Amino acid sequence: MRSRGLAVALASSVCLWSVTSLAETQDAVLEISLTDAATGNLVYARCLVNGALGKDGCTVEGQKPFPVGGGWWYVIPGTLRLDVPTGETTLLIERGLEYEPIRDAFEVNSGETVVRSYELRRWINMAERGWRSGEMHIHYPPEVVHDQILAADLNVGTCLVAWVAEGDERSDSPEIDPIRRIDQDYVYSINDEEIERFPITEYGGPVYLLGLRKQIHLDAPTPSYPTNIEYMRLARDQGGVVALHSACFYDAPVAAALGMVDAVGVACNFFGYDYTMKRVKHYGNADDLQLYGHTPWGTANMIFGKYYRLLNCGFRLPVSAGSAAPVKPNPVGGNRLYVKMDGALSYEKYFEGLKAGRSFATNGPMLFFEADGTGPGEEIQLDEPGAIQARVEAIFNKPLGKLEVVFNGDVIKTVEASEGEDSIREELELPIAGSGWIIARVFWAEDYPIKFAHTSPIYVTVPGHPLDSSEDAAYYARWIQHRIEWNKTDKGFRQEEHRLEVEKQLRKALAVFEGVI
């Protein structure tokens, strides 16, 4: 039953795509050509013509439009010829997060061919600064991902060709080399897998298995057995990467305790191109609703807060990012992870950097953070508690709001951007009370949708001053105990010994949290 969920999701999208092509009669032609202002070379991008669905009325031979925000877009592979309706025509061209968008409006007359050339300009060049972008949650099929990552200027793409949504059937699949390189700046994998099973609906959530040489399918008629942890273990065994959607994933603490997690999503698909989802009621634990509130900012605080609890338990977990395009109306790379790397780009080096935590996740701003001369993923060793010097730089092509530095879950510094300012550069003195972790995060000035960047942690070790994990370990221990209780009456087992096996796994994870209380 490979890809059943994905097939359903794409089928519903295809229905909408066909509606677009039934729009008004076109009797004019628009020809667009697009170059990079810095190089003069033709480049890929995406375009929205005449606004949202139902209004555009244009068609492109050989292409289906795809959803971003409220509109249906086309890829411009350097040049594009569209059949368009006559009258006032508006155009929006975008290329990932590092380029300024282009807007234009003009009149198109019946029978006319209008030719338009545009130059795309970067507001920042991250590759020049030694950072490369990628994302973990792309649902386009392999034959489409190539164009999508070029149109998004995303250096590293993934392709979740299988979506294990509930049960799964053991099936064999060929072993392949999953890496496809476009050129020195773009590479992607074509054999990734998403596990999204919901044994307890309100606590459910997904995990991404990336860089797989062979698809993983098990004899799992229900979501209960084998557990998602088994999929993670098999992915790891073949050199794959395990990235959690977020720490809201119901098995996140179990997976973390058993050492199965390479990265935890913060810039996940709850933060979209033009939306922020309210998700606390659906994904939170029992006491999260009171703690965070069922609002967009509640979602942000839950995503960050549950991740911070894992860090407070002593797990060294870097951040990650994903868009869920096109299942969610987000562009590929709208949520992305920048990894610091020197030298040439490769898929393997990018994921080595991801696992080492030399990274920040973003759906808009860029964020650079150093403390005591070290960057995210590194460790500072202090002889005793005291102040350390930090440097932060945040840049956006829109006004910034506040920048915060968080130590062991508490905000210890806040810098407010001056009104209308699109950059923050500060030297900060950070009070460090003991061992733990530090991250920086920065937000767009607008309250909605939430646009932010969030670094992976810098770790701090101070002998004789251990991280206090008691409250957060107790929080996750309570949750795993809840899972153990639920497991006793779970109807999703074929054999009683499987139930016992799952309980044993949960108890092993529980012991880890009880050990750090």
What is the binding site for Zn ion (CB under 5 A)? 194, 324
The pairing of strands 379-381 and 458-461 is parallel
CB nearer to Zn ion: pick between 250 and 475: 250
- Smallest gap, in angstroms, from Cβ of residue 194 to Zn ion? 5
Smallest gap from Cβ 138 to Zn ion, in A, equals: 9
Distance CA 2, CA 169 (A): 8
- State which residue, 82 or 332, has the beta carbon closest to Zn ion: 332
Q: How many CB atoms lie within 10 A of CB 205?
A: 22
Cis peptide leading into residue 174 (ω within 30°):
no
CA 88 to each of CA 26, 103, 116, 164, 437: distance values in angstroms, whole numbers, following the listed order: 13, 13, 15, 46, 54
Degrees (nearest 5) of the Cα angle 103, 187, 194?
95
User: In terms of Cα–Cα distance, which of 442, 480, 434, 494 is closest to 460?
Assistant: 434
Query: Count H helices, E strands: the chain?
Result: 10, 29
Which DSSP symbol is given to 95?
-
Q: Give least dist CB 125 to Zn ion, A.
A: 30
SS (H, E, C) 451-476: CEEEECCEEEECCCCCCCCHHHHHHH
User: Angle, to 10 degrees, between the axis of helix 496-516 and the axis of helix 470-489?
Assistant: 170
Instruction: Give least dist CB 485 to Zn ion, A.
Output: 29
Least distance in angstroms from the C-beta of 139 to Zn ion: 6
CB 132 within 8 A of CB 156: yes
Least distance between Zn ion and beta carbon 327 (Å): 6
- Minimum distance of Zn ion from residue 163's CB (angstroms): 6
Nearer to Zn ion, 45 or 162 (CB): 162
With respect to Zn ion, which residue has the nearer C-beta, 205 or 353? 205
**Residue 372 identity:** D
Do residues 218 and 231 lie in contact, with contact meaning Cβ atoms separated by under 8 Å? yes
CA 25 centroid distance within chain: 38
| 243 vs 324, beta carbon nearer Zn ion | 324
For Zn ion, which is the closer residue by CB, 167 or 375?
167
Rounded to a whole number of angstroms, the minimum distance from the CB of residue 243 to Zn ion is 12
444 close to 398: Cβ distance less than 8 angstroms: yes
Q: Decide whether 158 or 455 has the Cβ nearer to Zn ion.
A: 158
Shorter beta-carbon distance to Zn ion: residue 48 or 324:
324
